[in-house]
Amino acid sequence: MPIPKLPIVILISGSGSNLQAIIDAAEENELPVEIRAVISNRPDAKGLQRANRAGLRTDVIDHTQFDNREAFDEALKRCIDNFEPRLVVLAGFMRLLTDDFVNHHLGRILNIHPSLLPAFKGLNTHARALAAFKEGKVKEHGASVHFVTAELDGGPVIVQARVPITPDDTPETLAARVLKCEHQIYPMAIRWFAEGRLRLQGNQVWLDEQALDTPVVLDADS
């Protein structure tokens, strides 16, 4: 019996390469999702073109048109709710979300972050990881898929990809290797959710009926 497709909405702010990985996996029947809409907070996000090319519905909710975060999040929430998704996927969505918004979708929002959380929350993760490498503090970097909770980049982590750092890396070369891994682990985590294998209970991730004490970890070349 084919698994029924999970209705999802994807939020973006930029290039949308993670969006593309999700579109591709869905088109190749590797991901049982129905992408009901792609929503961007930036009218010029390149990812909107990717969505259009794939024939997906797009919406723009431009944060600069709102007086405050609460008003923006309320408009975003209303827009998302119209599509009745069972999962909201943040794919390079670069806005902080209010607690209200997060709690409205709690257990049904995933994010991908370009670091091995809890290391390097926030911005400029590649340059910060490289600086830490040069100080001998870390040997590897990577990306994490996590459930979104009210704490910024702080929700329980589901899966991580580890990427070794090399002495000749620049933030750009490191970012490119991490991004390649993101394109593997994000569709993977979404598939687990779509297959009913993944859930958040309290602050605990459950995968295949087991509480995950530590995230699933993949190595870059595995």
Q: Cβ 175 to ligand GAR, closest distance in Å?
A: 7
CA-CA-CA-CA torsion sign (164, 166, 171, 172) = negative
Q: Cβ 143 to ligand GAR, closest distance in Å?
A: 6
Is residue 113 annotated as a catalytic residue, yes or no? yes
HEC sequence for 134-203: HCCCCCEEEEEEEECCCCCCCCCEEEEEEEECCCCCCHHHHHHHHHHHHHHHHHHHHHHHHCCCEEEECC
* Annotated active-site residue in 63, 105, 113, 126: 113
Nearer to ligand GAR, 15 or 173 (CB): 15
**Alpha-carbon gap, residue 197 to 193, rounded angstroms:** 6
Q: Cβ 210 to ligand GAR, closest distance in Å?
A: 26
Q: Which residues bind ligand GAR (CB under 6 A)?
A: 12, 14-18, 47, 91-92, 112-114, 143, 179, 182
Nearer to ligand GAR, 82 or 124 (CB): 124
Nearer to ligand GAR, 107 or 154 (CB): 154
The DSSP symbol for 213 reads: S
- Catalytic sites, residue numbers: 113
